[in-house]
Chain A
Amino acid sequence: AQRVTQPEKLLSVFKGAPVELKCNYSYSGSPELFWYVQYSRQRLQLLLRHISRESIKGFTADLNKGETSFHLKKPFAQEEDSAMYYCALNTPSGGSNYKLTFGKGTLLTVNP
């Protein structure tokens, strides 16, 4: 069965320090992975998707199929990065449709 694991519930770093939010997945098919973010008092929104291989707000994430991981990284954390981060896996859901399976989330706090 598909599963997304985010081992850290809480992560606290200082401004300017590197940050890595861990995500591991379990899936028998070809994985499509995403990071979603929820800032305080805002809606959950897409941050980035592995297929785009892009950097958003300084964040990158590389899919490592050997380690079944999709860790989110940023070299220099900013206070505005403080938020809840969810890793998500796209999985088949009836015919040619899909649904997202989410991890439990990691609350990142960037201290001044």
Chain B
Amino acid sequence: NAGVMQNPRHLVRRRGQEARLRCSPMKGHSHVYWYRQLPEEGLKFMVYLQKENIIDESGMPKERFSAEFPKEGPSILRIQQVVRGDSAAYFCASSPTGSSTGELFFGEGSRLTVL
């Protein structure tokens, strides 16, 4: 099992462009979480998805950010019209049971730099 795969590992965008970050959960996991880590900050919850459903998006900024986890394919975090403040590391984690055991399996992260 290759673990949670995120791509791209590094992404550079200019202000106003779109960023798409992908996450393939571990095999057999149907729960996906996205976290953002800003410089000097911890991991901030953004969104929790199951296949074709958004369970909790309480941590998502109200504008420009969206996430999906389709029936087939990876989960995607999409940031439209990026601004410098979006520069951060974005981590995806997956779980077979929705964190009821507290164990999430993390990817290596995608580092977004906005110029």
Contact = CB atoms under 8 A, between A and B. Distances in A.
Interface string A5-29: 0100000000000000000000000
A99 interface: yes
Given A44-B91, A94-B56, A98-B98, A86 B43 contact: yes
A49 B91 CA distance: 21
Contact size range, B: 20 to 34
A99 B49 CA distance: 11
A77 B62 CA distance: 44
Interface string B96-115: 00111111111110000000
A99 B102 contact: no
Contacts of B102: 32, 34, 46, 49, 51, 88, 90, 98, 100
A93 B48 contact: yes
A32 B103 CA distance: 11
Nearest to B6: A43
Interface of A: 6, 32, 34, 43-46, 49, 51, 86, 88, 90, 93-105
